[in-house]
Amino acid sequence: MKPPLTVAYFTMEVALSADIPTFAGGLGVLAADLMRSCADLAVPTACVTMCWQHGYMHQEIAPDGTQSYSEVSWDPQKFMKLLPERVNVTLEGHNVTVAAWKYDLKGTESVLPIYFLDTNLPENREEDRDITKYLYGGDGAMRIKQELILGIGGVRMLRALGYSDIGTFHMNEGHSAFLTLELLRERDFKDDDVRGSCAFTTHTPVKAGHDVFNYDLAWKIAGENLPWHIKKLAGEEQLSMTHLAMHLSHYTCGVSRVHGVVSNMMFPNEHIDFITNGIHHTHWVSKELGKLLDVSVPGWREDPSLLEKGNSHLSDADLWKAHQTAKKRLLKAIKPYTQQELNPDILTIASARRVVSYKRPELLYTNLERLKEVGHGKIQIIHAGNAHPQDQFGQEVIKRMIERSHTLKDSITIVYVPNYNPDLAALLTAGADVWLNTPMRLHEASGTSGMKAAMNGVINLSTLDGWWVEGYEQDSEAGWRIGPLAEALADANEHRKIDAEDLYTQLQYEVIPEYYYENRARWVHRMKRSIGLLSTFNTHRCIREYCEKAWRKNR
């Protein structure tokens, strides 16, 4: 028997560090940060995820911009312990055995177990051993199997480990929604009983991003795991994991205020709240700035809401010095990837993220003449970001960006750093001067990299989408917005032109003059206001909101 849990947090991916590659991107980074805060706040939590042999891929870039992606090999034994318990899940009529590795996530106030489920066991058939091989790899059949292992296998594993009292089963995105099927079985198929102990966070503002399976395939693979009324729960036409999760949760939320609005438009019959994402502030702060804040804002580590008021005690000179140290560390780390030396006294703009079209990675390059006129000799740019190995569009974007760095080299130094991962993200979000983000409006659910930047006094320059709508509203002196806050225009190209033009204007008349010509004090003032944003956009605040709204005991 184990002590009661407030929450069992189910997630397809967790990004603890670059050498545990069981993640693809932001969803995993968020899960890790939320779990870090649960551990610090001593919220009794167990996390359930999958022991992917291959998740995030190592990216290399040739001088001509072509990329190769290779699997990161890792040995779970180095980081975690294989537990003796085994559970079974029936797939396609035969038995699959599931094991779990336990990772101890150490917080300041408690240690939180993360259970990594694994089917790569000698007793399983070869094809079943591969279920935990590739994160988001494989076809629909493979995806159903993976999600059955996570959901049903996960609940069974928790029971086998002795967790009998679990307040809430939390589904981080729809991938884990099959956990509701096991709970239904435990509770005589009483929907209401299950609903009372489930909560759900949706992350995807576009319909195509939601997992759906056709019922023929679902019956073939999940068979007896599906209850008689599955179509009532998950949709008549197709099995929608999002519908299943929503219909069996007492609470559903999106991950920012605008994302909440968009989700309610997508699912007009549901009530979807929002809990805006955050980051784990002490994980992402540079060590130099962390030390300064210990002196100027005592208690900020335990209570980041103090950051709002205390930053006035931070000395300008000390803050600037800490920032320049982080900047030099970044420039040193990326030196192997650039022909041209980057200069720590030049305004450095970083833009790093997964390369997908809605994030408009090339917006800055819409008008090269204008960019040269604005930026010649005054800015240097660092990019990073992986494209999915099967994603032709993304790979071509990266190639074009690298070609452009060559053609522009006499006016603007541009570096594309390979292999974006959480370690590189930490360097970039501490060492840049400006964090550029240009998503197409209403497409960014939240975004969290800008929060990491703000934590380090790196100033956001972003279109108003996701979290930045709230960040900019909280303190418009903390950064700059690109383009208007408006409904997405029907014509994406028109919108693109407006945003690009405004981006050049912001750079020319706001960002560059403030950095160079005005008193540096004004820039440093903005840096402090950026740090102040972390009073809100931290995962301690998220976890308190989850406890209040989604994980309340004794409902």
Residues in contact with ligand PLP by the rule CB under 6 A? 25-26, 29, 353, 420-422, 425, 447-450, 452
- 3 in Cβ contact with 13 (< 8 Å): no
- Residue 254, φ and ψ in degrees, nearest 5: -95, -170
- Tell me whether residue 114 or residue 179 sits nearer to ligand PLP (CB atom): 114
- Tell me whether residue 203 or residue 526 sits nearer to ligand PLP (CB atom): 203
Max Cα-Cα span within the chain: 72
Closest contact distance (angstroms) between CB of 367 and ligand PLP is 24
Closest contact distance (angstroms) between CB of 279 and ligand PLP is 7
Alpha helices in 223-280 (DSSP H): 230-234, 241-247, 257-266
**CA–CA–CA angle 165, 171, 177 (5° rounding):** 100
Closest contact distance (angstroms) between CB of 342 and ligand PLP is 21
In 34-153, which ranges are E strands?
Answer: 45-50, 57-61, 67-71, 81-82, 87-91, 94-106, 111-118
Q: What amino acid occupies position 98? A: V
DSSP state of 173: S
Per-residue burial over 442-468, b = 16 or more CB atoms within 10 Å of its CB, e = otherwise:
bbbbbbbbbbbbbbbbbbbbbbbbbbb
Closest contact distance (angstroms) between CB of 29 and ligand PLP is 4
Closest contact distance (angstroms) between CB of 421 and ligand PLP is 5
Return d(Cα 217, Cα 271) in angstroms, integer.
30
Closest contact distance (angstroms) between CB of 351 and ligand PLP is 10
Closest contact distance (angstroms) between CB of 309 and ligand PLP is 26
- Tell me whether residue 154 or residue 422 sits nearer to ligand PLP (CB atom): 422
- Tell me whether residue 128 or residue 470 sits nearer to ligand PLP (CB atom): 470
- Tell me whether residue 416 or residue 420 sits nearer to ligand PLP (CB atom): 420
- Tell me whether residue 87 or residue 430 sits nearer to ligand PLP (CB atom): 430
**How far, rounded to the nearest angstrom, does the alpha carbon of residue 51 sit from its chain's CA centroid?**
18
- Tell me whether residue 153 or residue 439 sits nearer to ligand PLP (CB atom): 439
Return d(Cα 473, Cα 297) in angstroms, integer.
24
The position carrying tokens 């809100």 is: 536
Closest contact distance (angstroms) between CB of 448 and ligand PLP is 5
* Angle of the 316-334 helix axis to the 520-533 helix axis, nearest 10: 80
The position carrying tokens 């080299």 is: 409
Closest contact distance (angstroms) between CB of 371 and ligand PLP is 22
- Tell me whether residue 56 or residue 115 sits nearer to ligand PLP (CB atom): 56
CB atoms within 10 A of CB 161: 18
- Tell me whether residue 140 or residue 389 sits nearer to ligand PLP (CB atom): 389
Q: Coil, strand, or helix at residue 172?
A: strand
